[in-house]
Amino acid sequence: MNQKINFTPGPSQLYFTVEDHVRTAFREGIPSLSHRTKQFEGIYAKVVDGLRELLGVPANYHVFFTGSANEIWERIIQNLVEDKSFHLVNGSFSKRFYEIALQLNKHPEKLEVPMGQGFAGDIAVPAGIELIGVTHNETSSGVSLPISQIQKLRAQNPNALIAVDAVSSLPYPDFDFTQFDTIFFSVQKGFGLPAGLGVWLVNDRCVTKAEFLQTKKISTGSYHNIPTFLAHSVKNQNPETPNVLGMYLLGEVIADFNRRGITSIRKETEYKSTLLYQALDNHPLFSAFVQDVNLRSKTVIVAQTGEHTEAVTKFLQSKGIQPGDGYGAAKKTQLRFANFPTHSKEQYELLVDSLNEFKV
Amino acid sequence: MNQKINFTPGPSQLYFTVEDHVRTAFREGIPSLSHRTKQFEGIYAKVVDGLRELLGVPANYHVFFTGSANEIWERIIQNLVEDKSFHLVNGSFSKRFYEIALQLNKHPEKLEVPMGQGFAGDIAVPAGIELIGVTHNETSSGVSLPISQIQKLRAQNPNALIAVDAVSSLPYPDFDFTQFDTIFFSVQKGFGLPAGLGVWLVNDRCVTKAEFLQTKKISTGSYHNIPTFLAHSVKNQNPETPNVLGMYLLGEVIADFNRRGITSIRKETEYKSTLLYQALDNHPLFSAFVQDVNLRSKTVIVAQTGEHTEAVTKFLQSKGIQPGDGYGAAKKTQLRFANFPTHSKEQYELLVDSLNEFKV
- pLDDT at position A335: 98
Give dist(CA B92, CA B338) in Å, integer. 17
- pLDDT at position A99: 98
- pLDDT at position A342: 96
Q: pLDDT band for B3, please (50, 70, 90 cuts).
A: confident
Query: What is the overall mean pLDDT for chain B?
Result: 96
Give dist(CA A165, CA A179) in Å, integer. 14
Determine which of A65, A77, A139, A241 to mutate to test the interface with B (most B C-beta atoms within 10 Å): A241
A307-311, A325-329, B293-297: least confident range = A325-329
Cβ pair B240:A69 closer than 8 A: yes
First to last CA, chain A: 29
Q: Is the per-residue pLDDT at B1 higher than 80?
A: no
Cβ pair B195:A243 closer than 8 A: yes
Determine which of B107, B241, B343 to mutate to test the interface with A (most A C-beta atoms within 10 Å): B241
**pLDDT higher at A224 or B4:** A224
Q: pLDDT band for A360, please (50, 70, 90 cuts).
A: confident
B106/chain A closest Cα distance in angstroms: 10
- pLDDT at position A3: 74
Percent of chain A having pLDDT more than 90?
Answer: 96
Q: Is the peptide bond before B11 cis (omega within 30 degrees of 0)?
A: yes
B195/chain A closest Cα distance in angstroms: 5
Q: Which candidate, B210, B205, B143, B153, places its Cα nearest to that of B179?
A: B153
Residue ranges matching CATH 3.90.1150.10 in chain B: 262-357
Residue ranges matching CATH 3.40.640.10 in chain B: 18-259
Q: pLDDT band for A260, please (50, 70, 90 cuts).
A: very high
State residue B340 phi and psi, 5-degree precision.
-110, 170
Determine which of A222, A228, A232, A331 to mutate to test the interface with B (most B C-beta atoms within 10 Å): A222
Instruction: Give the burial string for B317-334 (b: 16+ CB within 10 Å, else e).
Output: eeeebbbbbbbeebeeeb
Q: Which candidate, A166, A201, A157, places its Cα nearest to that of A181?
A: A201
**pLDDT higher at A191 or B11:** A191
* CA–CA distances in Å: residue B4 to residues A29, A342, B319, B347: 9, 35, 8, 11
Q: Which H helix or E strand runs over B295? A: none
Q: pLDDT band for B11, please (50, 70, 90 cuts).
A: confident
The pLDDT tens digits of the residues spanning B117-175 come to 999 889 999 999 999 999 999 999 999 999 999 999 999 999 999 999 999 999 999 99
Give dist(CA A180, CA A148) in Å, integer. 12
Using left for φ > 0, alpha for ψ between -120 and 50, and beta otherwise, residue A105 falls in: left
Q: Which H helix or E strand runs over B48? A: helix B38-55
First to last CA, chain B: 29
- pLDDT at position A2: 52
Q: pLDDT band for B356, please (50, 70, 90 cuts).
A: very high
Q: Which of B99, B103, B223 sits opposite A70 (nearest CB)?
A: B223
Mean pLDDT to the nearest integer, A260-286: 98
The pLDDT tens digits of the residues spanning B194-229 come to 999 999 999 999 999 999 999 999 999 999 999 999
Count the Cβ atoms, other than its own, within 10 Å of residue B259: 7
- Nearest chain B residue to A325 by CA distance is B36
CA pseudo-torsion sign A55, A58, A61, A64? positive
3-state secondary structure of B135: strand
3-state secondary structure of B90: coil
Q: Is the per-residue pLDDT at A132 higher than 80?
A: yes
Mean pLDDT to the nearest integer, B256-278: 98
Q: Which candidate, A152, A157, A169, A123, places its Cα nearest to that of A299?
A: A169
- pLDDT at position B355: 98
Q: Which of B96, B186, B240 sits opposite A241 (nearest CB)?
A: B186
Largest distance between two CA atoms of chain B: 65
Instruction: Give the burial string for A299-331 (b: 16+ CB within 10 Å, else e).
Output: bbbbbbbeebbeebbebbeeeebbbbbbbeebe
State residue B197 phi and psi, 5-degree precision.
-155, 130
The CATH class that applies to domain B262-357 reads alpha beta
Residues B204 and B224: beta-carbon distance below 8 Å: no
Q: Which of B10, B29, B74 sits opposite A1 (nearest CB)?
A: B29
Q: What are the residues whose beta carbons fall under 8 Å from the beta carbon of A2, sequence distance 6 or more?
A: none
Q: Which candidate, A61, A54, A62, A343, places its Cα nearest to that of A174?
A: A54
The pLDDT tens digits of the residues spanning A173-186 come to 999 999 999 999 99
Residues on chain B touching A28 (C-beta within 8 angstroms): 1
Cβ pair A242:B69 closer than 8 A: no
B93/chain A closest Cα distance in angstroms: 11
The pLDDT tens digits of the residues spanning B53-77 come to 999 999 999 999 999 999 999 999 9
Count the residues in chain A: 360
Mean pLDDT to the nearest integer, B329-343: 96
The CATH class that applies to domain A5-12+262-357 reads alpha beta
B230/chain A closest Cα distance in angstroms: 16
Q: Is the per-residue pLDDT at B85 higher than 70?
A: yes
Q: pLDDT band for A340, please (50, 70, 90 cuts).
A: very high
Residue ranges matching CATH 3.90.1150.10 in chain A: 5-12+262-357
The pLDDT tens digits of the residues spanning A23-62 come to 999 999 999 998 989 999 999 999 999 999 999 999 999 9
CATH 3.40.640.10 fits A18-259, yes or no: yes
Residues B151 and B179: beta-carbon distance below 8 Å: yes
* CA–CA distances in Å: residue A106 to residues A285, B14, B217, B228: 46, 43, 11, 19
Give dist(CA B239, CA A145) in Å, integer. 26
Cβ pair A35:B10 closer than 8 A: no
3-state secondary structure of A32: helix
- pLDDT at position B2: 52
Contacts 24+ apart (CB under 8 A), A286-291: A286/A312, A286/A355, A288/A142, A289/A116, A289/A141, A289/A142, A289/A330, A289/A334, A290/A116, A290/A141, A290/A142, A290/A143, A291/A116
Give dist(CA A90, CA A112) in Å, integer. 6
Q: pLDDT band for B12, please (50, 70, 90 cuts).
A: confident
- pLDDT at position B301: 98
Give dist(CA B81, CA B101) in Å, integer. 9
User: Which residues in A29-153 belong to E strands, given as ranges?
Assistant: 61-66, 85-89, 109-112, 131-135, 137-138, 143-144
- pLDDT at position A1: 41
Count the residues in chain B: 360
- pLDDT at position B188: 97
Give dist(CA B189, CA B312) in Å, integer. 24
Q: Which of B31, B96, B197 sits opposite A14 (nearest CB)?
A: B31
Give dist(CA A208, CA A203) in Å, integer. 9
Cβ pair A196:B11 closer than 8 A: no
Give dist(CA B95, CA A11) in Å, integer. 37
The pLDDT tens digits of the residues spanning A65-98 come to 999 999 999 999 999 999 999 999 999 999 999 9
